[in-house]
């Protein structure tokens, strides 16, 4: 599992009305809100914690910092509201933020992400000419596992055994003969 898989999983939990993009080049506030742009920043590699029983051994853990840039605006009847003021746009951004955090929590119920609670940043002018922007720093915890560890090998064999269908001649006998 890598960063692409994580972002794809979170994106799938977000409303289909959001435009979801990735990378610095997609930060230009053109088009129309509601927009989320994931921008990878940097990573730290940390030594592994003790592996849990029955899972592949973790060699290292990546802590990948990604900025979630939200662009929101107040809408009326499905269209951006030209009469909305800054507070209306902030309320729309707060609603987007809540939905994003709920999607993160649903995707990672066991602490596979971390939000830096002191680093959210509002963008209320400058490059944002309509609505408001909000930048949320999210760190994803991505294990690098030992694919050749006993646990990984056993899990792989078990998975293969469950999906294999024996040929017609072997349906009465075992698939694997253990000496």
pLDDT digits (tens, 9 = 90+) for 135-144: 999 999 998 8
Say if pTM beats, i.e. exceeds, 0.85.
no
Share of the chain above pLDDT 90, in %: 49
Residue 9, domain member (yes or no): yes
Residue 30, domain member (yes or no): yes
Residue 179, domain member (yes or no): no
Residue 72, domain member (yes or no): yes
For the chain, what is the domain count? 1
The pLDDT mean for the chain works out to 80
d(CA 39, CA 126): 19
Residue 149's domain is classified under what CATH number? 3.30.2000.10
Query: Among 52, 1, 37, which residue's Cα sits nearest to residue 138?
Result: 37
Strand pairing class (58-72; 75-76): unpaired
Q: What is the pLDDT of residues 18-47, one digit of tens each?
A: 999 999 888 876 778 899 999 999 999 988
Average pLDDT over residues 58-73: 92
Higher-confidence position of 1 and 54 = 1
Residue 61, domain member (yes or no): yes
User: So what's the pLDDT on residue 14?
Assistant: 98
Share of the chain above pLDDT 70, in %: 75
Residue 94, domain member (yes or no): yes
Residue partners of 142: CB distance under 8 A and separation at least 6: 1, 2, 3, 6, 61, 62, 63, 64, 112
**Do the Cβ atoms of 158 and 175 come closer than 8 Å?**
no
Average pLDDT over residues 46-70: 81
Residue 99, domain member (yes or no): yes
Domain that holds residue 58: 3-170
CA contacts within 13 A on the Cβ side of 176:
7
CA distances to 10, 36, 64, 73, 160 from 143, in Å = 17, 25, 11, 37, 23
Residue 177, domain member (yes or no): no
Residue 99 has pLDDT above 90, yes or no: yes
Backbone angles phi, psi at 105, to 5 degrees: -65, -40
Strand pairing class (19-22; 35-46): parallel
């Amino acid at each position: 599992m890598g960063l692409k898989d994580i972002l794809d999983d979170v994106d799938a939990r977000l409303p289909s009305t959001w435009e979801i993009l990735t990378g610095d080049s997609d930060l230009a506030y053109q088009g129309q809100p509601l927009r989320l742009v994931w921008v990878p920043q940097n990573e730290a590699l940390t030594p592994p914690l003790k592996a849990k029983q029955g899972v592949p051994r973790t060699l290292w853990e990546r802590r990948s910092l990604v900025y979630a840039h939200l662009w929101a605006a107040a809408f009326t009847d499905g269209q951006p509201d030209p009469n909305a003021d800054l507070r209306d746009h902030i309320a729309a951004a707060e609603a987007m933020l809540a939905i994003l955090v709920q999607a993160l929590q649903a995707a990672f119920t066991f602490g596979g992400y971390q939000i830096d609670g002191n680093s959210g940043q509002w963008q209320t002018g400058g490059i944002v000419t309509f609505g408001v922007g909000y930048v949320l720093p999210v760190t994803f915890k991505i294990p690098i596992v030992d694919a050749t560890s006993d646990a990984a090998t056993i899990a792989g064999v078990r998975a293969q055994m469950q999906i294999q269908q024996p040929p017609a001649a072997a349906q009465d006998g075992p698939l694997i003969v253990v000496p």
